[in-house]
């Protein structure tokens, strides 16, 4: 099966600019996750979707981050305006459903904020 | 690609030796545990998982041990190879069969360096 697709792979912006990341999960996977991974740390969950509904966005900085999964398939994560501390890799993952399922990750989108 | 393990604890192992990577978790409600491997420039990749009703599970060259009493998890890699060099993360989740959604929380990771 095709893996989780993410784009762009790399993005460099200046602080206060905006950026958007796109994710296409594995076909048929109901659950989609966005994680933020700062260099040298483990991935931190930003938001989790079950189909097109949000089930957890408790760690999403909602003043600047937003995400949507309108048709329950692909998803976009937006940052506006970006801060220096947003420099990280943004990982998208998907799994079959709400139960015990393995997360399959994309390669990530590396953001550098100058 | 840029390494994800610049500031992580590092374990250096000679090729052919066995590796043991340890992980302490904090949430007593966690019932499902997963080990992921992350190579430079890639997303984490599933290695092996274990549920709380087990204390040991074996895969191909890998074994996961779970001690719920002290909230400790370990990953053993037999006959470590250069291709095993990566950052290893343990992840935990509450009971996946509770009917609720699965929230997966990652630990800080350990960088494994295999010396040829």
Instruction: Assess B46–A contact: CB distance below 8 Å, yes or no.
Output: yes
Contact call for A103 and B93, based on CB within 8 A: no
Dist CA B38 CA B30 (whole Å): 22
- Let me know the angle formed at the C-alpha of A36 by B87 and B11, rounded to the nearest 5 degrees: 15
Residue A35: inside a domain, yes or no?
Answer: yes
Print the domain residue range for A89. 5-108
CA of A18 to nearest chain B CA: how many angstroms apart?
Answer: 23
- Between B99 and B78, whose confidence is greater? B78
Task: State the SS3 of A19-79.
Answer: EEEEEECCCCCCEEEEEEECCCCCCEEEEEEECCEEEECCCCCCCCEEEECCCCCCEEEEE
Instruction: Lowest mean pLDDT of A91-100, B13-22, B36-45, B63-72, name the range.
Output: A91-100
Per-residue model confidence as pLDDT tens for chain A (114 residues): 689 999 999 999 999 999 999 999 999 999 999 999 999 999 999 999 998 899 899 999 999 999 999 888 999 999 999 999 999 999 999 998 766 578 999 999 999 999
CATH assignment of the domain containing A25? 2.60.40.10
Closest CA to A89 of A26, A23, A29, A31: A23
DSSP state of A18: -
Residue A59: inside a domain, yes or no?
Answer: yes
Number of domains forming the structure of chain A: 1
Within 8 A by CB and 6+ apart from B16, the residues are B79, B80
Residue A113: inside a domain, yes or no?
Answer: no
A10 pairs with which residues across the strands?
A110
Please determine, looking at this structure, whether the domain spanning B10-115 carries the CATH number 2.60.40.10. yes
- Which chain B residues are within 8 Å of A98, Cβ to Cβ? 99-102
Contact call for B7 and A40, based on CB within 8 A: yes
Q: CB–CB of B95/A28 below 8 Å?
A: no
Pairing, β B62-67 against β B56-58:
antiparallel
pLDDT at B99: 56
pLDDT score of B88 more than 80: yes
Residue A102: inside a domain, yes or no?
Answer: yes
């Amino acid at each position: 099966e095709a893996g989780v697709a993410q784009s762009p792979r790399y993005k460099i912006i200046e602080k206060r600019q905006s950026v958007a990341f796109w994710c296409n999960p594995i076909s048929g996977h109901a659950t989609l996750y966005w994680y933020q991974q700062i260099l040298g740390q483990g991935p931190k969950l930003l938001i989790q979707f079950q189909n097109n509904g949000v089930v957890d966005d408790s760690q999403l900085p909602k003043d600047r981050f937003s995400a949507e999964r309108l048709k329950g398939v692909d998803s976009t994560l937006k940052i506006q305006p970006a801060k220096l501390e947003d420099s990280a890799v943004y990982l998208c993952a998907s799994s079959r459903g709400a139960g015990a399922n393995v997360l399959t990750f994309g390669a990530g989108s590396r953001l550098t904020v100058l | 690609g840029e390494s994800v393990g610049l500031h992580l604890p590092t374990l250096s192992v000679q090729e052919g030796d066995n590796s043991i990577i340890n992980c302490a978790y904090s949430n007593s409600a966690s019932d499902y545990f997963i080990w992921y491997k992350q190579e430079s420039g890639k997303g984490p990749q599933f290695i092996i998982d274990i549920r709380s009703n087990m204390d040991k599970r074996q895969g191909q060259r890998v074994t996961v041990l779970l001690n719920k009493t002290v909230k400790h998890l370990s990953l053993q890699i037999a006959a470590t190879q250069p291709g095993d060099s990566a950052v290893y993360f343990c992840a935990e989740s509450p009971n996946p069969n509770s009917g609720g959604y699965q929230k997966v929380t990652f630990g800080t990771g350990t960088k494994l360096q295999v010396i040829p």
